């Protein structure tokens, strides 16, 4: 049992000492939610989850979650969550989203978050998503043209970085920031050498279709960040500005799911068909 009584995540990983029957054998774990969780999965729902650790360097491990939400998925969503979250908190959302958009979902915790070891830093964010992407390819044989990168809030930082290096089926940027300095000082007009999270400089390098989603009443990252990111995309699709939505409630608005479905079923589907 991998369990730390003092930690606050609702997720638990329990080693079962057996292997997954794939091309290679990997340690198999089970997702467990303790009594503090606001939801409890049924046994049948738990069968949708595969959880494991990915090795990062010599001494660090990154907690990963693969949600088999669809028997015949159109894509796999590689999801980078927001700051105040971890896999335990996101697991219910991953399953629900995957079911509704007919996609499997691969999530991971950043260094120092949830059950992942190490310390959080800008550099570790970029390393974490590279490790997650490599695990998705290695374990599940999923190719880039069948992957949608989804970044939420701080999760847009590793998402944009990876998307600027490789081509994927599509990119979803949910409440993105332009850069750390611009977030703290909105009148900043250039990227200084000490500026963290410079999404604004990397977004123009992304060739994949990009959907930007932002709430008009976002109290954490002003919608002007999302608008700036959208304006710099090489291959943008019509954005979604959710009227009245804040930073943490966009998913509760009906138009959110409708727009994500359209992106998957219409906006990027023609591109995939052309290249196939």
**Would 42 be classed as within a structural domain?**
no
Per-residue pLDDT tens for 142-176? 999 999 999 999 999 999 999 999 999 999 999 99
Cα 108–chain centre separation: 8
Average pLDDT of span 256-270? 92
Identify the active-site residue in 9, 153, 175, 208. Answer: 153
Specify the pLDDT at position 186: 82
Residue with tokens 């990876």: 162
If phi > 0 it is left, if psi is from -120 to 50 it is alpha, else beta; for residue 207 that is alpha
With respect to residue 109, please indicate whether it lies within any of the assigned structural domains: yes
Rounded to whole angstroms, the Cα distance separating 36 from 8 reads 9
The CATH number linked to 93 is 3.40.50.1820
Kindly tell me if the per-residue pLDDT of 6 is higher than 50: no
Alpha-carbon span 167 to 184, nearest angstrom: 31
Residue 218 falls in the annotated catalytic set: yes
153 is catalytic: yes
Predicted TM-score (pTM) of the model is 0.86
247 in a domain, yes or no? yes
175 inside domain: yes
Q: Domain for residue 256, yes or no?
A: yes
Q: How far apart are CA 276 and CA 272, in angstroms?
A: 6
Total domain count, the chain: 1
Tell me, yes or no, whether 23 lies in a domain.
no
Is residue 17 domain-resident? no
The answer to whether residue 22 is domain-embedded is no
Report whether 106 contacts 67 (CB < 8 A): yes
Q: Which of 195, 218, 222, 225 is catalytic?
A: 218
- Determine whether 224 is an active site residue: no
Range of the domain at 258: 49-275
Q: What are the CA-CA distances from residue 180 to residues 114, 177, 183 (Å)? A: 23, 7, 5
Query: What pLDDT, in 10s, does the model give residues 240-254?
Result: 999 999 999 999 999
44-93 pLDDT, tens digit per residue, is 788 899 999 999 988 899 999 999 999 999 999 999 999 989 998 999 99
Residue 99 clears pLDDT 60, i.e. is over it: yes
Residue whose C-alpha is closest to residue 128's, from 51, 53, 216, 43: 53
pLDDT over 80 at 274, yes or no: no
Summarize the confidence of residues 189-211 as an average pLDDT.
Answer: 91
Per-residue tokens: 144? 């880039």
Average pLDDT over residues 135-140: 96
């Amino acid at each position: 049992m991998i369990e730390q009584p003092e930690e606050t995540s609702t997720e638990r990983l329990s080693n079962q000492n057996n292997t997954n029957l794939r091309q290679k054998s990997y340690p198999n774990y089970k997702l467990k939610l303790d009594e503090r969780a606001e939801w409890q999965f049924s046994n049948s729902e738990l069968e949708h989850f595969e959880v494991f650790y990915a090795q990062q360097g010599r001494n660090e491990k990154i907690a990963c979650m693969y949600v088999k939400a669809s028997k015949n998925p159109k894509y796999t969503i590689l999801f980078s969550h927001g700051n105040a979250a971890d896999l335990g908190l996101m697991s219910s959302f991953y399953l629900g989203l995957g079911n509704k958009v007919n996609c499997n979902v691969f999530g991971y915790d950043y260094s120092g978050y949830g059950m992942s070891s190490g310390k959080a830093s800008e550099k570790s964010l970029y390393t974490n998503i590279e490790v997650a992407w490599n695990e998705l390819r290695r374990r599940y044989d999923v190719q880039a043209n069948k992957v949608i990168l989804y970044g939420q809030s701080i999760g847009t930082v590793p998402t944009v970085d990876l998307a600027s290096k490789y081509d994927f089926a599509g990119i979803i940027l949910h409440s993105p920031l332009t850069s750390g300095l611009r977030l703290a000082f909105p009148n900043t007009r250039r990227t200084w050498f000490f500026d963290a999270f410079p999404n604004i400089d990397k977004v123009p390098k992304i060739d994949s279709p990009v959907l930007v989603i932002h709430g008009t009443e976002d109290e954490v990252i002003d919608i002007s960040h999302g608008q700036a990111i959208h304006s710099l995309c090489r291959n943008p699709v019509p954005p979604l500005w959710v009227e009245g939505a804040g930073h943490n409630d966009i998913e509760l608005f009906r138009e959110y799911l409708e727009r994500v479905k359209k992106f998957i079923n219409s906006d990027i589907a023609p591109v995939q068909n052309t290249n196939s």
